[in-house]
A = this chain, B = another copy of it.
Amino acid sequence: LRIILVGFGTVGQSLARIIHKDRERIVDDYGFDPQITTIVDSRGYCQDKNGLDLAAALEAKERLGTVAKYPEKGRRRPTASRIISTSEGEVVVESTPSNFKDGEPGLSNIKQALTTGKHVVTVNKGPLALAMPALLELANHKKLQLRFSGTVGGGTPFLSFASKCLPGEKILGVHGVLNGTTNYILTRMENSSLGFQAALREAQMKGYAETDSSNDVQGFDTAAKIVIIANLIINRRLNLHDVEITGISKVTPQSLRDAKASGAKIKLIGRISESKATVKPEEISATDPICVPDTLNALTFSTEHAGNVTLIGKGAGGEQTGSAILRDLVDIRGRYTI
């Protein structure tokens, strides 16, 4: 299986590290040998038909800032989409940063990959949030796989749960906490009476929030996950513009205290009901299973026969997301014996 890895940030590097470290186990457990033959980052790319030396690629990135400095086979200034179309490989792994305005560069990368006959594993939520129905159709039309386990829940299998563990169940709706950064901020505001800005700064200092955390705080990250769940699990053809979105920046310590006095907490809830999809701060009973603390994520599936079933786990983390990509690769390999 030859992999073209586009985007070499935390998640891309984590995948490279897992494949480098666990190659023997992967070959033993799954019977296939994943070869990363191309890596593209924002400043360049490196390529080796026989499989890159991942230790060298990681070192070039860490020490010199770009894979363009990979020994001998590194090059500067690529256009990712040209490299995707001209490189040999069975799968493109798309891990450039999520962009919820126009989905770029991920959207073009994914289209280019599918158009030129390559399966896609993406952890980039932007293209899915904005164009998931169209991308699924393109993949379907080309008889290619478009996988995205790592976009929702990291290592917690929110997406596969419904299809694999609730067969024959109709999912009537979902609701839950899908963003660890905002959940951490709200938990800290409640427990320490910090204001929103102070709690955000603390989250940034602890590495739970990025420097630009506006996609988390304004609710776009949660909304993108809601779009992915709606399309995949509830068969509802939504995109980001169909979701009513309110972020958490106006939640005050006072409103959290008021909620607490009535046995409730305020959580940023993503929700798909019969009639609509929303992301907004909601008061939730403290004994509701989705009322999880800190950076945890939680999702309740409302089912026809089994009632409400809730899944709780870590929402993210480079290693978890890297493992999710590996699961997708294993799955694609299993279906196509590439």
Using a CB–CB distance below 8 Å, which chain A residues touch chain B? 29-30, 154-157, 160-161, 164-168, 287, 289, 292-293, 296, 298, 303, 305-314, 319-320, 323, 326-327, 330
Contacts and interface: CB of A to CB of B under 8 A. Distances in A.
A323 B306 CA distance: 8
B298 A293 contact: no
**A154, A164, A313 — most chain B CB neighbours (10 Å):** A313
Contact of A311 (B30, B164, B309): B309
Contact of A307 (B155, B305, B310): B155
A307 B312 contact: no
Given A157-B165, A164-B164, A289-B292, A313 B309 contact: yes
Contacts of A160: 164-165
B320 A306 contact: yes
B305 A313 contact: no
B306 A314 contact: yes
Nearest to A291: B287
Contacts of A312: 289, 309-312
Contacts of A168: 29-30, 326-327, 330
The dominant DSSP class at the A interface is: mixed
B306 A156 contact: yes
24 contacts: A29-B168, A30-B168, A154-B306, A155-B307, A160-B165, A161-B165, A164-B164, A164-B165, A165-B165, A167-B327, A168-B330, A287-B292, A287-B293, A289-B289, A289-B298, A306-B320, A307-B313, A307-B314, A307-B320, A308-B313, A309-B311, A309-B312, A310-B312, A312-B312
Nearest to A294: B287
A155 B305 contact: yes
Contacts of A306: 154-157, 313-314, 320, 323
A41 to B, nearest CB: 25
Nearest to A305: B323
Contacts of A323: 305-306
B292 A319 contact: no
**A293, A306, A327 — most chain B CB neighbours (10 Å):** A306
